[in-house]
């Protein structure tokens, strides 16, 4: 139901008066106002109207970025708030931790492969 709701906007236009409206204006004016204006009543009048406006299409979903390896140890973080000495030290520490993570991942893969091999031997 929410999709069917349209947005409403207010817009300005100049509309010409019909003969009935001109007669009504003349009839409602006092005699002195009619003499002052004469026959120079405005033929157009400013009008503010409302209209339904279609909703703009929703913005496209941002593409999901591939997660960075080592994000949990600080890869891709902003260290600009640190002084230069601490920035260098942090970069070295992060690099050291990333190599440790790679080694850990390699060991886990090897362990999983060994466990699979042992499982195949015991079931065969």
Rounded Cα gap, residues 9 and 51, in angstroms: 6
Mean pLDDT calculated for residue range 84-111: 96
Host domain of residue 47 = 2-53
Rounded Cα gap, residues 90 and 108, in angstroms: 27
- Asked, for residue 85, whether it belongs to a domain, the answer is yes
Phi first, then psi, for residue 100 (nearest 5°) are -65, -40
Instruction: Tell me what percent of the residues of the chain surpass a pLDDT of 90.
Output: 37
Looking at per-residue confidence, does 105 or 43 come out higher? 105
Q: pLDDT for 52-82, tens place per residue?
A: 887 777 888 988 888 889 999 999 999 999 9
- Residues 19, 47, single domain; the answer is yes
- Asked, for residue 17, whether it belongs to a domain, the answer is yes
Q: How many domains does the chain have?
A: 2
- Residues 75, 48, single domain; the answer is no
- Asked, for residue 82, whether it belongs to a domain, the answer is yes
- Asked, for residue 119, whether it belongs to a domain, the answer is yes
pLDDT confidence of residue 39: 64
- Residues 44, 80, single domain; the answer is no
- Asked, for residue 49, whether it belongs to a domain, the answer is yes
Q: How confident is the model at residue 1 (pLDDT cuts 50, 70, 90)?
A: very low
- Asked, for residue 64, whether it belongs to a domain, the answer is no
pLDDT confidence of residue 42: 74
- Asked, for residue 42, whether it belongs to a domain, the answer is yes
- Residues 49, 91, single domain; the answer is no
Q: How confident is the model at residue 100 (pLDDT cuts 50, 70, 90)?
A: very high
């Amino acid at each position: 139901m929410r999709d069917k709701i349209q947005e409403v906007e207010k817009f300005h236009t100049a509309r010409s008066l019909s003969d009935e409206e001109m007669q009504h204006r003349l009839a409602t004016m006092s005699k002195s106002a009619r003499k002052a204006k004469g026959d120079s009543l405005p033929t157009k009048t400013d009008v503010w109207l409302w209209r339904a406006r279609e909703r703009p299409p929703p913005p496209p979903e941002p593409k999901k970025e591939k997660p960075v390896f080592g994000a949990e140890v600080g890869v891709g973080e902003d260290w600009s708030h640190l002084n230069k000495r601490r920035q260098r030290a942090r970069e070295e520490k992060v690099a050291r931790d990333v190599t440790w993570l790679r080694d850990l991942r390699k060991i886990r893969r090897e362990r999983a492969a060994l466990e699979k091999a042992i499982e195949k031997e015991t079931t065969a």
